[in-house]
Amino acid sequence: MISTNDFKNGISIVSGGVLYQVVSFQHIKPGKGGAFVRTKLKNMRTKAVVDKTFRAGEKVEDAFIDTKKIQYMYHSGSSYHFMDTNTYEELSVPQELIGDNKKFLKEGMELTVLYHKGSIIDINLPLFVNAKVTHTEPGAKGDTAKAAFKPATLETGAVVQVPIFVNTGNTIKVDTRTGAYVERV
């Protein structure tokens, strides 16, 4: 059990049987009445953010999250297959848990998986990934009348907006959180 007085951003708790991560918190002492803690909590399974208020000093269950490094191997049907880099054990993860991250998965890529009570709750990609551009329209020199960006398809299947100087065959760095072009590699 953990007291609401000990909250820190990023810790994991269980409230009402639901696993949450503390996004932000604020201790409030009104002039009248008891102190309380106002929090923003992210549901670790659905990724929804909710506002929740606790009494100051209230005890909640502390959730222990284990992390492991895994390596992406291949995709078959509705599941993705990974290898635990320590034990070399193969893990099969359902497509629903991967979500939009699938558009940046490359064979051999190292990821971090989060476990709670033996079950996988989240998979985190590296913040940036390098990928080869497999198709993009050639950019006309001096064509800046419109936006200076064009769509490009990457080797992973993702489509990102890139500057007009990026061509098919170039390798680019992409931010996996936003899907935005960062730089040419």
Q: What is the pLDDT of residues 110-159, one digit of tens each?
A: 998 888 888 888 888 888 999 999 988 887 666 555 567 888 999 888 89
Hey, what domains does the chain have and what are their CATH numbers? Answer: 2-62 (2.30.30.30), 66-124 (2.40.50.140), 128-184 (2.40.50.140)
pLDDT of 146: 59
SS3 134: strand
C-alpha distance across the termini of the chain, in Å: 47
Q: Are strands 49-55 and 66-76 parallel, antiparallel or unpaired?
A: unpaired
pLDDT of 165: 86
Helices (H), 40-127: 95-98
What's the rounded mean pLDDT across residues 42-56?
Answer: 89
pLDDT of 94: 84
